[in-house]
Amino acid sequence: MQTTLRKLAPALLIATLALAGCQTTGQKTGQGTQPSTSGASTPPGTPSTTPGAPPSGQATVPAVGFLLAQNDPGPGLTEVKLSDGSIYVQRQPVLTRADLTEAAPLASRQGENYVGLRFSESGARTLNTVTSQNVGKLLVLVADGNILAALRISEPLTRGVLAFSVNSAQTAQDIVAKVRGDQPAVGGAAPGALPASTAPRQ
């Protein structure tokens, strides 16, 4: 169900302020481009699933995390090749689903679509610290090792909310469902996978 601006006017005001702090990169958010990775090879005979994943056929709640990334290589970073270039991602998440209290698809009166995320008190403090110390870097939202959004940090996010634009209402709903841990739609594996060693664990 699409949440309208009227119902979330106070949250949208805050979300609009958050949009000034993070900008979507050139990659179309939520499109699930298929990146290839380097720097994290898997030994022969090793299964290609994330450690601790249940056997296929069982429903699972995707692990959700926010990873810091940058455009230049550096020690301890994993290269992720996207359709419009490479980014270099830290292996450990700085925030996880446990730091979130709400995720909702939003729409403006002009028909623009957004994903709005609200963080817990401790998550908001972490978000403030992380964005204050990493202006110019990327905050990458992943679920089950799949990139959902890569957002450029342009200023500290001090209000405990994050909103980013997406290309359609369906994309917003899909991302929100993954962040909340709703049951996935029937289909194949999602494209845009990170190396298993980089995927956040809960």
Q: In the chain, what are the domains?
A: 9-37+63-180 (3.30.1360.200)
The pTM of this model reads 0.66
Q: How far is CA 135 from CA 108, 114, 157, in A?
A: 27, 22, 10
What's residue 182's pLDDT?
84
What's residue 117's pLDDT?
98
What's residue 184's pLDDT?
56
Cα gap 173→165, rounded to integer Å = 12
Give me the torsion for CA of 18, 24, 25, 31, rounded to 10°.
150
What's residue 50's pLDDT?
33
User: Checking DSSP bridges between strand 85-90 and strand 138-143, what pairing results, if any?
Assistant: unpaired
Q: How far is CA 190 from CA 103, 133, 156, in A?
A: 20, 32, 31
Stretches where the chain sits below pLDDT 70 are: 1-62, 183-202
